[in-house]
Structure 1
Amino acid sequence: MAHCTNCGVKWKAKDIWKLGMAKDGKNCPSCGERQYVSFNNGGFLMGLGYLSGTIGLLLIVLFPYYIRLSNQKDKELYGG
């Protein structure tokens, strides 16, 4: 499960799913530091989701367990 890079608090799956849909990141519920999704190793897994609806659904369910949080916006992911 993902942890805040600033304070180390473990995020709930519900908050991570919300973060995954937010372009501008989300504030940590504990320290308030802005966090963004960082796909250091999960980008490949997300790409597989386009190959099959079943794999895509499975990746959505497992999404909170494969992402990492970052204090900086990922330029590749958000295009800016």
Structure 2
Amino acid sequence: MPHCQNCGFKWSWKDVMKLSLKSKRECQNCHKIQYISAKSNFWTTFLTSMAFLLPMNFLRTYYEISWPWIFLAIPIYIPLVSLLMPFFYKLSNTQKRFGKTVE
């Protein structure tokens, strides 16, 4: 689980899920606003999309699994990834978009 950049407080899974939905959240310990770091946001998005696309393309090509089966896998895959993503987040004191600080 991620830690606050100001005080080192370890966030709970529930708080990190709320943070991922709202993009900013106040630390319960020091009351400073925390954001998901830009690097962390990029890598979790990249890894979750690649972790789905690569195996599905492999299965589609070599085992000739039909598209309906692949589309049925999506409702299983998305909640599973959503449950695991908070473990990979890192927090930041500033919100950055495309390398620039956003206020």
- Tell me whether the two structures share a fold, i.e. TM-score over 0.5: yes
Cα deviation, residue 39, structure 1: 4.7
In structure 1, what residue type is equivalent to 2:12? K
Cα deviation, residue 63, structure 1: 1.6
* CA distance in 2: counterparts of 1:49 and 1:22, whole angstroms: 24
- Structure 1 gaps, min length 5: none
Cα deviation, residue 58, structure 1: 1.5
SS at match of 1:55: helix
- Structure 2 gaps, min length 5: 54-73
Instruction: Output the aligned Cα RMSD.
Output: 2.1
TM-score for both structures, normalised by structure 2? 0.62
In structure 2, what residue type is equivalent to 1:58? L
Aligned length in residues: 76
Aligned to 2:83: 61
> What percent identity do the matched residue pairs reach?
34
User: What per-residue deviation string (whole Å, max 9, x for no partner) do you get for residues 18-65 of structure 1?
Assistant: 000113x11100001110012523232243477544332211010210
TM-score for both structures, normalised by structure 1? 0.78
Aligned to 1:42: 44
Are 1:20 and 2:14 an aligned pair? Answer: no
SS at match of 1:42: helix
Structure exhibiting the larger radius of gyration computed from Cα positions: 2
* CA distance in 1: counterparts of 2:14 and 2:33, whole angstroms: 17
SS at match of 1:74: strand
